[in-house]
A and B are shown apart, each in its own frame.
Chain A
Amino acid sequence: MWNNFLKGIIRENPVLILLLGTCPTLAVTTSVANAFGMGAAATAVLLGSNIVISALRGVIPDKVRIPSYIVIIAGFVTVVEMVMHAFVPDLYEALGVFLSLIVVNCIILGRAEVYASKNRILDSAVDALGMGVGFTLALFAMASIREIFGFGSWMGFEIPVLSDFTIPILVNSPGGFFVFGILIAIVNAVTKRKTGRDFGCTGCPSAAVCGANDGSLQSAAEKDNCAGSGKGLDDTAEEGGK
């Protein structure tokens, strides 16, 4: 259980290892407060959708699982959106369109497909919390770097010397990519993860939960085939980085 939670933080960190949810990651990490807000919103949606999808895993027919997941996720996102608009309007304004875009955030759909649809409710909830916290921490780390060096402040508080020597590119899109790349490199070095060997199931950090063909190398085409094979629920891993 504890391992299940921890895996989302480093070993299967959705942003830095699975490379999911890149779009909101780059967009909202110009300030730490926004990163927290985004992380919390995504975690709430992830928790809700994982629980519901796990509970309905025996009910939802295979053929309509993706539309069903999307409807459920969109429902939770809209709830979070309305609640934020009502109670934290400033954060709602700051996150803007990225709040609505949580609907198509691959982390959420990815966990629904890879994990919640084949595990018990409690496990799915723990998985959601782990992934949510991992996502939030990754955003937090990235936003801290960008805000401290890009704006010379942290959580909106000005940092004496740094505020006079800011690196404005860090808060622009190119700087976002730089920081993102460096963070991925650091995490890979720390976890001693071997990358670049293959793009099949063996190299996939989700291989264990995914339960795809016992580690044998699979081409992308073969993977697509099994996804379309009707009973390929166990074989598909929705992991295109959005």
Chain B
Amino acid sequence: MKREAPKCIVVLTSICLVVAALLAGVNHITAPIIEKSAVSGEQASLYTVLPNAAGFEEETLEGDVPETVTGVFRDTGGSGYAVTLSAVSSYSATPMAFTLGVGTDGKITGIEMTNYAESKDFGNYPDTYIGQDSALSGVDVHAGVTYSSKAFRGAVEDAFAVLVKLGGVAQGNKTDEQIIEELKGELLPGALNQAGAPKLKDMTLSDPTVQQALQAENDIGYFYVVEEDGETLIVVVSATGGAVCMDLEKTDVTEQHAALIQRALEWSDASAVHEKNKATAARALPEGAQLTPVSASGQFGTVSSIFAVSGVENAAYAMVCSPYGYRTPMKLIFVLDSTGAVSGLRVSGELIQDSEYYSNYTLDESAYIAGIIGLTRETADQDATLISGATMTAGGVWAAMQDVFAAFDSLTAK
């Protein structure tokens, strides 16, 4: 036993040493290969989107970089850029991640989704982006996966913004249709639904210069595309009387086209809207209140009618707003006193639209309204409009309140 012990120690130690030496030798050979393949695995998507790339070098980005852009890689062979992106939509389980390849001509060469955990499938939606430039004129929001595809598109736009800023690719030219589509949202923000899509309906006009005449579905204004002296112009008239004219460069040309504005105001007869709103607004006020429609210059989002109120204490103006709630536009009547504080709020119809409630929580509407009464532009706080479980309705109420204050400021400045 005693004689055996040293032998055991020596043998076992020697075996361990020899094995360790062998492993060190093998590791010396395999470690660099393993490391290389790990790096190439990460970069595999870069080569998928820019197949002819020689190699990639990460660009250092300065200044404000959108959150969605996680990395910009330049092909050392000069064929373009690969951008890694990560976007979040309200339906994401985890951020969707994808790699975008953009050639030196500014066109998308490939898209590789590296993570997609949205609740609904995209199908081949990303493929519709291939061949597009930064204008993205040929792609639309994907029906059924509106939020996910908006997040996707937003990330692609961010990637182009970074690349253009970097000087890597040239800005693509937007088509007239695209600019018109963008102006709908920019000039009539109150007509955008909760998904950010402008909700407009066709109108019929006999004027031959009018190429397109649209009215907001929530009655807050009108949108015209007019051919004037060989130039395409956009005229937007608010139901409350303001009007603005823009060309396709998005320059305000209202002053140069006074005659056109005059014609547009004639096309936009909002008196029927005001008549209907007047009856609605009257119910928000005590008996005997006199309502007179007033016009204000400017566009006040979701406000469709403004009435001057007389004969009632604490009420100077009543404004009818139609913000988009969960589905269809809501109808809110805000009453403001002469200082601009909310002295009354009435909801026509149901505030919370069916199936919006996320939980079984129900809203005490009178307490909710009481929390808003007395607020002014200065004291208004988004917390007051929050409704637990009905975020979209609450967002609509908040947006409408901002519009009402803006309209009041414009009226009193006059």
Contacts and interface: CB of A to CB of B under 8 A. Distances in A.
A16 to B, nearest CB: 32
B249 interface: no
A241 interface: no
Nearest to A61: B8
Interface stretch (B12-20, B214-222, B260-268): B12-20
A217 interface: no
A86 B34 contact: yes
What does DSSP make chain A's interface, helix, strand, loop or mixed?
Answer: helix
B15 A68 contact: yes
Nearest to A89: B37
Contacts of A202: none
B12 A67 contact: yes
A64 B4 CA distance: 10
Contacts of A122: none
A75 interface: yes
A61 B7 contact: yes
A82 B12 contact: no
B11 A75 contact: no
Contact of A71 (B7, B15, B26, B29): B15
Contact of A75 (B19, B29, B34): B19
B27 A63 contact: no
Contacts of A89: 34, 37, 41
A75 B23 contact: yes
A64 B29 CA distance: 31
Interface in B1-53: 4, 7-8, 11-12, 15-16, 19, 22-23, 26-27, 29-31, 33-34, 37, 41
What does DSSP make chain B's interface, helix, strand, loop or mixed?
Answer: helix
Interface in A33-66: 56, 59-61, 63-64
A67 to B, nearest CB: 6
B38 to A, nearest CB: 9
A162 interface: no
B16 A71 contact: yes
A2 interface: no
Contacts of B26: 78-79, 82-83
B30 A83 contact: yes
A63 B30 contact: no
B37 A86 contact: yes
A202 to B, nearest CB: 33
Size range of the chain B interface in the assembly: 10 to 19
Contacts of B11: 59-61, 64, 68
A87 B15 contact: no
A78 B8 CA distance: 24
Contacts of A184: none
Contacts of A72: 15, 19
A82 B30 contact: yes
A74 interface: yes
Contacts of B23: 75, 78-79, 82
Contacts of A87: 33
Interface in A63-114: 63-64, 67-68, 71-72, 74-75, 78-79, 82-83, 85-87, 89
Contact of A85 (B4, B12, B16, B30): B30
Contacts of A83: 26, 30
A67 B4 CA distance: 16
A63 B19 contact: no
A79 B37 contact: no
B8 A79 contact: no
B273 to A, nearest CB: 60
A207 B197 CA distance: 81
B18 to A, nearest CB: 8
Interface string B217-255: 000000000000000000000000000000000000000
B22 A63 contact: no
Nearest to B22: A75
A63 B8 contact: yes
B78 to A, nearest CB: 30
Contact of B4 (A56, A61, A68, A79): A61
B262 to A, nearest CB: 70
Among B8, B16, B37, find the residue whose CB has the most chain A CB atoms closer than 10 A: B8
Interface in A167-215: none
Contacts of A82: 23, 26-27, 30-31, 34
Contacts of B29: 86
A175 B59 CA distance: 51
A79 B31 CA distance: 12
B43 to A, nearest CB: 14
Contacts of A75: 19, 22-23
A174 B148 CA distance: 39
Interface in B107-124: none
B342 to A, nearest CB: 61
Contacts of A79: 22-23, 26
Contacts of B4: 61, 63
A72 B20 CA distance: 10
Interface of B: 4, 7-8, 11-12, 15-16, 19, 22-23, 26-27, 29-31, 33-34, 37, 41
Given A71-B16, A71-B19, A79-B23, 6 more contacts: A68-B11, A78-B26, A79-B22, A82-B26, A86-B33, A89-B34
Interface of A: 56, 59-61, 63-64, 67-68, 71-72, 74-75, 78-79, 82-83, 85-87, 89
5 contacts: A67-B12, A68-B15, A82-B34, A85-B30, A86-B37
| In the A-B complex, the 7 residue pairs with the closest CB atoms | A75-B19, A86-B30, A86-B33, A82-B30, A64-B8, A61-B8, A64-B12
